[in-house]
Structure 1
Amino acid sequence: MPATLNRPQNRMQVLVSIVLAMLVASMDTTIINTTMPIIVKDLGGYSLYAWAFASYMIFSTVLTPIAGRISDLYGRKTILAAGIIVFLIGSLLCGLSQTMMQLILFRAVQGIGAGIMNPFPAIIAGDLYPIEERGKIQALFSAMWGISAVIAPLFGALFTEYASWRWIFYINIPICLLSLFFLRAYKEEYEPKPASVDYGGAVLFTLGVSLTLAATAFEKQAWWLVLAGVALLAVFIAYERRQSSPIVPLALFRSRPIRRMNINAFLSNAALFGTASYAPTFLQEQGYSTFVSGVALLAQSAGWMLMSVPAGKLILRYGYSRLLIIGNVLLVLSGVQLFYLSAGSSYLYSLTALFIQGMAFGILVTVTIIGSQQFVDGDQKGISTSLMMFSRNIGTAVGVTVMGSLLTGAAQFMTGVHSLYTYGFLVSLLSLATAFLSLEAAKRPLPNAL
């Protein structure tokens, strides 16, 4: 059953809490981008450079579905608060790090906290807001991710220049405390269904996904990590089929809308979500400053917000399938533009491609998040929402890794750029094809929505 807050101001306080939690988790994904050279110079351990990113990414990804499932069993508020506290402790320890190995370990602690926090903005918004209002809330969440992607590296540079790189972690502490303070207003009326926690499944899932994602931190000889990770995930699937209360209920994927939306979320993110990582690099190669190239990502955020706001009402009017198709058509259009990107392309050309891509993800992310909540019962809303986010995160990790290898493996920079966007365009076509497969979902009534 959804939680209801008697007073509107209480609901606003809860919204502030989850937005602040989202802000710190999203900022720490990119804030070290501009500061890592300084950190490595101070701490040493250049050979471990990539692991400062990978340790955070791995745990923030793998803990998301586990946190969502546990919240279904024991409620939202306690689990979210635990995630905020773990993230706060991890941030403090990162700031106190004296060696690169310590920083990597404490970034993993941060990642655990972020992974626990990540699904709750969408889950709690699904509990508190009707479907027609959720598009606006998702637009706000999208704005926070988009803005943090731009300002986090800038803040990192400012802290490094005028204070110390350690403040990129210390700044999280007051924000986390504010988030905890406002979370007190959350009067949860959701009735969880307590059950035994599937610890074995949680361990197998964590190890399998972690090993697979760890391969992204190695330039060579990563195949054995992928094989080990895939083998453990196969064991995990066989194990989960025998559990009465699995950590990841595989029965969710028997629902065609849920299955197809997860597939589409994976493919759309694997196709072009990684553009945010490489578009600024392209613009810098064309002579634009770090700031100006970073600001270009605001075009993507603007398109995202433009389509997220009305998405909830559009779902009620047109259904999920039509909007999935429209979103994927827009994604393909942005892929076409990027496919024809050249060294002579203008700044406006890049902005247009990013804006259209933002419109695409504004539709796709909002529709799939809302769909993941509406096509399941209340006691599965947490795991369904977090699995959708997990599908997107895995797709992003795959896309960024493939794009990075295509760029670094090319003889010339523009050859690599063309290769990575050719890949993105082709996968966006595959994503569009899967959107057409979900037409049957449009004929089904919207649970709890109409």
Structure 2
Amino acid sequence: MEQAKRPLILIAVMLAMFVAAVEATIVSTAMPSIAADLGGFSKYSWVFSAYLLMSTVTVLLYGKLADILGRKPVFAFGMLLFLIGSWLCGLADSMDQLIAFRFIQGAGAGAIMPIASTIVGDIYSAEERAKIQGYLSSVWGISAVAGPAIGGVLVATIGWQYVFWVNLPLGVLSLLGIMIYLKEPARNKRTKIDYKGAVLLTVALSTILYLLIEGGVSFDWMSVPSLLLATLGALFMYGFIKAERVSNDPMMPFEIWRNRAILYANLVSLATGIILIGISSYLPAYVTGVMEQPAAIAGFTLTAMSIGWPIASVLSGRLLISIGYFRTSLLGALFLIVGTTLFVLMRPEFGPLWAGMSSFLIGAGMGLTSTAFIVSIQSAVSYDKRGAATASNMFMRNLGSTIGVALLGSILNSSLLKYFNENDSNLTLESVNAILSAGSRSGLPDEERMMLQEALELGLRNVYSLTFLCALLSFMLIFGLRGLKGVKPDVK
């Protein structure tokens, strides 16, 4: 790799990470407006779940394909699919259409983040990676959580459709940069693609996701549909694990999980994925619906996370060299515990400043942990496994977000329905749409408005309680990284 081209490739990678991370969260701030325009609050979580499901399922396949076919062709395919899906999402005129197009968008997004990170692992040494991954994580953090602020401005000015169209030109620039400047070594090894594993994993996750979203809403948790879905999900997941163990070229090579750095980093990433999606998906609904703040303010409460994330990411790159993976990750987990605790204690009268402060601490925790994990994982494997190893970490974080948005959405919907029933109210989940914008909220009777706000506050407090438990679990799991001192030479 020519040294002169590395900065150009790095810029292209940073653009790719920006568009993928922005699109994962920019829709958060726009969702109250989208729900008010298209209707369908009961399908609110499916807009996130559709994107996350497909990006989670495909990330392992893309990671494996990148090791087999090369980074460039797989990245190009994923980026093009992502851009087509983004364009279609802006054209949706119903919630069902939007969900369908988010499936397409997510199927492309699964290639962008892991392959972009893998490319950096290819062109920089282990020592250089500690600093570069800090910059990349900060870009990811800025884009992922500045997205809601951008979304708030777009919704307030030119319309929610542009939250899907805003990154189209940036995606094209990133694609051109990678295709023109990245030169890869020739590949002579012929391997088969694990389509069987991909299908089994897709069916397993889709089944489990549907159960988590609709359980307690469309059917009771203790019912025949719940039992059937749980059984099918477990059977398909068992089939996936069994197929991967006997495959010569599995989507997820389980031997890499024997490495302690990969095992515990991935388990923590599962838990932090739930935290991240829980905060980014539902905080705008709290700020707009309960605190009665405009969409732009709701976006800026999440933007506070984008301040903490890059600061912590750059700091993490330096701490990795001086104090090691374990202490750096443990510090990040402490920030996550404090941040989620503040969200549990949050009340409407505390105002958006409290929400912003809590978001900042979550961002700091994510910046410290995510950078440490990527650097440690890429230093623990050889070139021909780096794509799959990086993808495994992205998979676990995406899986956490996928499970999280479904589970948290179910908790929220169940809490709302329980509150309405206990208060003998005729209100439904769709009634919540009315408090998500100032115009519709002003037309509500005071008693109905207060009841809806109290129900939403209670439901979201239950959501934040689960994120606190995930932060506590992350803290305990990180003790499995004890003994990893710092950046080590690449494994050849």
- What is the TM-score normalised by the length of structure 2? 0.80
Distance in 2, Cα, partners of 1:257 & 1:291: 40
Asked whether the 8 Å contact 1:22–1:118 carries over to 2, the reply is: yes
Q: Which residue does the alignment assign to 1:433?
A: 476
Distance in 2, Cα, partners of 1:298 & 1:169: 18
5 Å-filtered alignment, 1:30-429, equals 30-31=26-27, 33-34=31-32, 36-37=34-35, 40=38, 51-94=46-89, 103-129=98-124, 130-134=128-132, 135-160=134-159, 165=161, 168-190=163-185, 192=187, 193-218=189-214, 219-221=217-219, 223=226, 224-271=228-275, 273-284=277-288, 285-408=290-413, 409-410=415-416, 411=419, 412-429=455-472
Gaps of 5+ in 2: 220-224, 420-454
Secondary structure, aligned partner of 1:241: helix
Q: CA deviation at 1:280?
A: 2.7
Letter in 2 for 1:269: G
Q: Which residue does the alignment assign to 1:6?
A: 3
Residues 1:22 and 1:227: Cα distance change in structure 2 (over 3 Å): farther
Secondary structure, aligned partner of 1:310: helix
Residues 1:87 and 1:349: Cα distance change in structure 2 (over 3 Å): closer
Quick one: percent identity of the two aligned structures? 30
Q: Which residue does the alignment assign to 2:449?
A: none
Letter in 2 for 1:382: G
Q: CA deviation at 1:242?
A: 0.9
Asked whether the 8 Å contact 2:152–2:295 carries over to 1, the reply is: no
Asked whether the 8 Å contact 1:138–1:366 carries over to 2, the reply is: yes
Distance in 2, Cα, partners of 1:52 & 1:404: 11
Residues 1:246 and 1:355: Cα distance change in structure 2 (over 3 Å): same
Q: CA deviation at 1:123?
A: 1.6
Q: CA deviation at 1:90?
A: 3.0
Distance in 1, Cα, partners of 2:61 & 2:253: 11
Superposition misfits of 4+ residues, deviation over 6 angstroms: 45-49
Letter in 1 for 2:464: Y
Q: CA deviation at 1:98?
A: 7.2
Distance in 2, Cα, partners of 1:279 & 1:380: 38
Letter in 1 for 2:480: L
CA offsets per residue over residues 410-444 of structure 1, 9 Å max, x none? 523333333222222233222211111221334x8
RMSD: 2.8
Q: Which moved more, 1:93-102 or 1:266-275?
A: 93-102
CA offsets per residue over residues 67-89 of structure 1, 9 Å max, x none? 11110112111110111122233
Gaps of 5+ in 1: none
Residues 1:27 and 1:338: Cα distance change in structure 2 (over 3 Å): closer
Q: CA deviation at 1:34?
A: 4.8
- The structure with more helix, counted as a fraction of residues: 2
Secondary structure, aligned partner of 2:31: coil
Letter in 2 for 1:154: V
Distance in 1, Cα, partners of 2:355 & 2:250: 45
